[in-house]
Structure 1
Amino acid sequence: MDWSDIGKMVGKAAPIVGTLLGGPAGGAVGGLVSQALGAGNDPDEVGEILKSDPAAYERIKRLEQEHERELKAMMLEAETAKLGHVNKTMRAEAASNDGYVRRWRPTFGYLAAISWALQSVAIAWSFVWAPEQAGQVSQAIAALTPMWGFALAVLGISVHKRSQDKQVAAGQQPNGGLIQALTTRLQGGKQTSGKG
């Protein structure tokens, strides 16, 4: 058992503590939980207390209420560090001299288009040459809908971000997107400054 397991156990009673136990601050928050329960700084020992003593959840809930401000600050720090890491990775990708690293988004687009075309041909072929299987093929298509929904959403975001990357590389301000275009059109074509 580790601190993330403890986080799942206490998540309903103390959601902030549960979330922090599952993240990079798990050890530090685990120490606070251990102290509140009178246990050693060991997730196994804390887990045993939680299983045997229903009042332990109330003590953790009280801990969360008493230290809510500090726990929320820890959560904000953890999220900031996570976003900083993601941004660092994105900057490394943009600055990379490796052609494939820079071209992963177009590659994903090409592969999605090829997969979509092959699947469409296979579906059409199965309806023509094996019409008795049409019901099963239709069920398979419905089962693939969430996968394609996710893949096409990723592709849409990738295309949008690639367009923004090109605009920034050309020294232009990226377009505001659909909402900005609608706002501009509704205001009679006047550009909004974005200042409130």
Structure 2
Amino acid sequence: MAVTARFGFWAAVAACFFALAYGVPQVLQVAGWLTFPVDEILIFAPSLALAPSFVLANVGLYESTATGRRVFALAALALALHYAVLVSIVYVVQLGVVIPARLAGGNPVSALFGCCGSGMPLTAVDLLGYTLMSVSTLFAAGAIVGNRPLRWALVANGLLAPFLILQLAWPGLIWIGALWLVTFPLAMGLLAAHLRRTGG
């Protein structure tokens, strides 16, 4: 396997892994089987690692895409970068500032900069980030030729974008947006297989 294909393959594997590593504790938290601070640490840490992994997977996709379709891969990469910057700020603040502050009894900073609750500023930033990620996968689908399962997985994830950002107005849409827990890891797993197969 060529260096480019190997690079993209492992980046997509990492993105798939970290998405699953986020998804499992998220489900366990909703089920009430994980509580603070373990739940938030296990959710935010893999989410922080997912951001650069997704960017690098898009680098691999761009490098492996034929010239005529590179504009779609480049658009996907640009949006992936935008997503990664936004959510990385959110998660490093949670892990490095908010969670320690809450463990120490809480303060105005932890109250203002908490995440994943309705009406919280960083929740809006997080939702914008994941909306951009979904649009990124929609563009990535345009770079794929001859692999319908991968293309449709990317499109399915991309179509979740409105259900992510509109949670700011209608929080109940989270139950549709939660399909990301399936569509995104599936898309990254299929992307890894695609890059391995087409990389020689």
Higher Cα radius of gyration: 1
> What is the TM-score normalised by the length of structure 2?
0.28
> With CA pairs under 8 Å and 6+ residues apart, which has the higher RCO, 1 or 2?
2
> What is the TM-score normalised by the length of structure 1?
0.28
